A = this chain, B = another copy of it.
């Protein structure tokens, strides 16, 4: 009997995700076809507008966009796998709160709301090379927190993350979900050199070995070798799907959390787009494996949802094009 376990509610949600409104998407495509312009000339803007309509069920509009950043700390960071000290996560959260981070300026540029969620930064997860990052109750509670976090009338959610060490954790999740070893998925993160990248790869392999035979269930991957921001993002992606809110994903943790959900249900990310092509080969490969085509390629390696905030400007523009253009006379 598993019905009393905390993950059961999420398994039920994942098994019965709502579909999009295909007719609403068709209406947008028909509208573009009637406009006074070469057919399909607005390229991905037309696709994005249709996608907005499919997932909201109404004409494309972005009136209350929100950037949601989830911040977590990781026990595994003690293995010297990041050029930044663990304290940098909390400092980055404070910087966002004070308005001095890059994402604050990007939110200003594109008129986006911003919420930063500190997920018990004082309490790093367990070291994934030794034990599970979270127990099932803790992981489920953090997923539930992520579900609640995006409540409150937004119509576009940009998801980003902060967390020293979380590019190693993401690499471990990619290896667990897609196969391969640490060397296939570890990368520079926030500026690791070749030696540090090699150490990251070894840490990934150690985590995979420690949890061998326990990683067939994607939610177990999330719990055992993920972390708090990963779990919260998984919850946020699920909640937006239930509430029919389109999502822009950005960063290591968002990609890895999304990969776990897609492993559980291949349609789980249909309401999501990816903001930015990663510089890191492993992260890039993970996005390819998800079948998602990034909107931007500006060589960002920044985290904190910066790519998603930039991409939100394109999504807002796409919505305006679809509703503001005149039909051919």
Contact = CB atoms under 8 A, between A and B. Distances in A.
Interface in A1-57: 35-45
Interface residues of A, number: 51
Interface string A266-293: 0000000000000100000000000000
A106 B320 contact: yes
A97 B84 CA distance: 53
B106 A321 contact: yes
Interface in A105-149: 105-106, 108-110
Contact of A298 (B91, B99, B109, B314): B314
Nearest to A329: B91
Nearest to A296: B296
A215 interface: no
A38 B84 contact: yes
Contact of A314 (B95, B104, B302, B313): B313
Contacts of A105: 317, 320-321, 323-325
Given A105-B320, A109-B317, A296-B296, A95 B326 contact: yes
Interface string A63-75: 0000000000000
Contact of A324 (B108, B313, B321): B108
A223 interface: no
A56 B295 CA distance: 29
A102 interface: yes
Contacts of A42: 102, 300, 302, 306
Contacts of A99: 324
B36 A299 contact: no
Interface string A157-198: 000000000000000000000000000000000110000000
Contact of A317 (B92, B297, B313, B317): B313
A240 B104 CA distance: 31
Given A42-B300, A95-B326, A100-B324, A317 B106 contact: yes
A48 to B, nearest CB: 9
Interface of A: 35-45, 83-84, 91-92, 95, 98-102, 104-106, 108-110, 190-191, 279, 295-303, 306, 310, 313-314, 316-317, 320-321, 323-326
